[in-house]
Chains A and B, each alone.
Chain A
Amino acid sequence: MKAIVSVKRVVDYNVRIQVKPDGSGVVTDGVKMSMNPFDEIAMEEAVRLKEKGKITEIIAVTIGGAKNEETLRTALAFGATKAIHIKDEGEVQPLTAARALAAVFKKEGASLLIAGKQAIDDDANQTGQMVAALLDIAQATFAGKVDVDGNKATVVREVDAGLETLEVDLPAVITADLRLNEPRYLKLPDIMKAKRIPIEATTLADLGVTAAAAVKTVKTVPPPSRSKGVMVKTVDDLVAALKAKGLA
């Protein structure tokens, strides 16, 4: 049984991002890039399912320019058995990405797509659900716990009201939330070994995918900053400050 894990290269989560002064976007040149943290969790979950014998193959897929190969190398070091690079130098938005992933899913005869619930750059939180819609298969988003048993998966989802349990038949899409697992540290030998594994290259055109109409970004600005507050020394001062604002 094959699982596909979609992985995205994003600005590392530790980087304090800078908005370009001309409003054209966020500075990414010379900035540390990493695999989207939610995708790392998705990779880890796939590897654990493989270790438990629930799945046999893990195909890591990324979409983007030449540098995205690094992200696939990371996925291979995690334990992906195959890597597919959908090469595209432009901005690939969620619906187009979903069309491409759905095409790969069908071509590979996969049973499971495990994706991060969102990428920490555009924070869209769309692609996994869109793949499920395009393939007309089950989806279990924001997974906090996944059990695969033969041809079905039981997923505990982290929803606003608490924990929701869904049972889905495979094929299905599962998106990983933060608490699904703690990704392992990659070992140097695994990282070295991953460098020698060939990566399969393809394109949107090869997959028969047409890009969806795009949402246009007009400008990007920093968020409004909060004005500097006051420091108080005692609880009495705090109570007085709250009273002054009409809050106590």
Chain B
Amino acid sequence: MSKILVIAEHAEGKLNAGTAKVLAAATQIGGEVTVLVLAADGAAVAAEAAKLAGVAKVVVADNAALAAPVAANLAPAIVELAAGYSHVLFPGTTFGKDLAPRVAAKLGVPQISDVMAVHSASSFDRPIYAGNAITTVEAPAGTVVATVRLASFTAVAATGSAAVEKASVSVTAATHTRYVKLEAQKSARPDLQSAAKVVSGGRALGSSENFKVIYDFADKIGAGVGASRAAVDSGYVPNDMQVGQTGKIIAPELYFAIGISGAIQHLAGIKDARTIVAINKDAEAPIFEVADIGLVGDLFTVVPELTAKL
């Protein structure tokens, strides 16, 4: 039977919503699932994780060296606690992508990145070429270390009540790495990666001031706000709003691509959206090839009208 260790991602005492999606992948692999919380004080995060369906137990390892999400400190702690587990799973976020290879290399095993479907305990689907091809891969014998593509899984419900165990790890903080700060974009809007509705703006917005039309629309329908790489590179919005292969890969119920031409790079980030609506003045824009509903028009007239009518 598989023994699966899911590494919890958390910040400011809260569990990242992605963990519940990693648990969905773990449940499909089948076996006994343990969530590992590494923190300076992980009690609150562990209590949250314990409520997630399918979790057999939560192990919380408090250690001052683990206060910041520094891979060089987290990896040895995970390696220490991973003995006896058949799988170590990470969310496919920048946290997991930074950390998982460091663990895999220490364990001397290859890593499987961006698991999007589970066939068995050792066989998975993963995207290559920005999602333009899907491969089925088979992990070799040994511990399976993988990151899970969050957009491909539906979060498990918070209906569990697993036991929380304490563990100790002997790591000391690496002197070669100092965590300085995180400049987070505080937003009252729904988080891009878990929002049911997302509205994204592209280069056609033309300026950061003009993005107001996107924000107003998003606020009216309670959506998260994203942007294309072109809009981010043009400085209209900060980098953490970028949706696409090199930004965030999302899977909302409803996605509005506004003034976005639809570069392959962007499409790779929205392929799993349930319904895609495209608004663009260029009828030939590639975004219309993937849109479920398309409207050719000037976004500066269409979007305010839509905001008023929805």
In Å, the complex CA distance between A247 and B295 comes to 16
Closest to A137 in B: B176
Question: Taking the nearest CB of chain A, how far is it from the CB of B279, in angstroms?
Answer: 8
**Is B133 interfacial (CB-CB < 8 Å)?**
yes
**Is B215 interfacial (CB-CB < 8 Å)?**
no
**Is B239 interfacial (CB-CB < 8 Å)?**
yes
Q: Are A219's CB and B136's CB within 8 A?
A: yes
**Which residues of A sit under 8 angstroms from B266, Cβ to Cβ?**
none
The interface-forming segment of B49-57, B111-119, B160-168 is B111-119
Q: Are A178's CB and B254's CB within 8 A?
A: no
The interface-forming segment of B31-39, B58-66, B138-146 is B138-146
Q: Are A235's CB and B305's CB within 8 A?
A: yes
Q: Are B175's CB and A223's CB within 8 A?
A: no
Main secondary structure of the interface of B (DSSP, over half): mixed
Q: Are B309's CB and A166's CB within 8 A?
A: no
**Is A221 interfacial (CB-CB < 8 Å)?**
yes
A-B contact count (CB 8 A): 243
In Å, the complex CA distance between A54 and B254 comes to 48
Q: Are A238's CB and B177's CB within 8 A?
A: no
In Å, the complex CA distance between A98 and B102 comes to 11
Interface string of B273-307 (1 = CB under 8 A from A): 00111000000000010111111100000100110
Q: Are B233's CB and A179's CB within 8 A?
A: yes
**Is A248 interfacial (CB-CB < 8 Å)?**
yes
Interface string of A159-199 (1 = CB under 8 A from B): 11111111111001000011100000000000000000000
**Which residues of B sit under 8 angstroms from A122, Cβ to Cβ?**
128
CB within 8 A of A216: which of B100, B103, B138?
B138
CB within 8 A of B277: which of A11, A233, A238?
A238
CB within 8 A of A126: which of B101, B134, B174, B296?
B101
Residue total for A at the interface (Cβ-Cβ under 8 A): 78
**Is B188 interfacial (CB-CB < 8 Å)?**
no
**Which residues of A sit under 8 angstroms from B306, Cβ to Cβ?**
235, 238-239
**Which residues of B sit under 8 angstroms from A166, Cβ to Cβ?**
70, 177-180
Q: With A166-B177, A212-B109, A229-B294 given, can you name 11 additional A-B contacts, CB distance below 8 Å?
A: A94-B110, A123-B128, A161-B240, A164-B179, A164-B181, A165-B181, A212-B110, A223-B131, A232-B293, A235-B295, A237-B295
Which B positions have Cβ atoms within 8 angstroms of A? 11, 70-72, 75, 93-95, 97-106, 108-114, 123, 127-142, 174-185, 193, 221, 229, 232-233, 238-240, 245-246, 248, 253-254, 264, 271, 275-277, 288, 290-296, 302, 305-306, 309-310
A-B contact pairs, 30 of them (CB 8 A): A120-B130, A124-B111, A129-B99, A130-B101, A132-B102, A133-B101, A134-B105, A139-B102, A141-B97, A141-B98, A144-B239, A154-B180, A160-B95, A164-B183, A165-B182, A166-B177, A168-B177, A169-B176, A172-B176, A213-B141, A216-B138, A218-B123, A220-B128, A220-B135, A221-B135, A232-B293, A233-B295, A236-B309, A247-B253, A247-B275
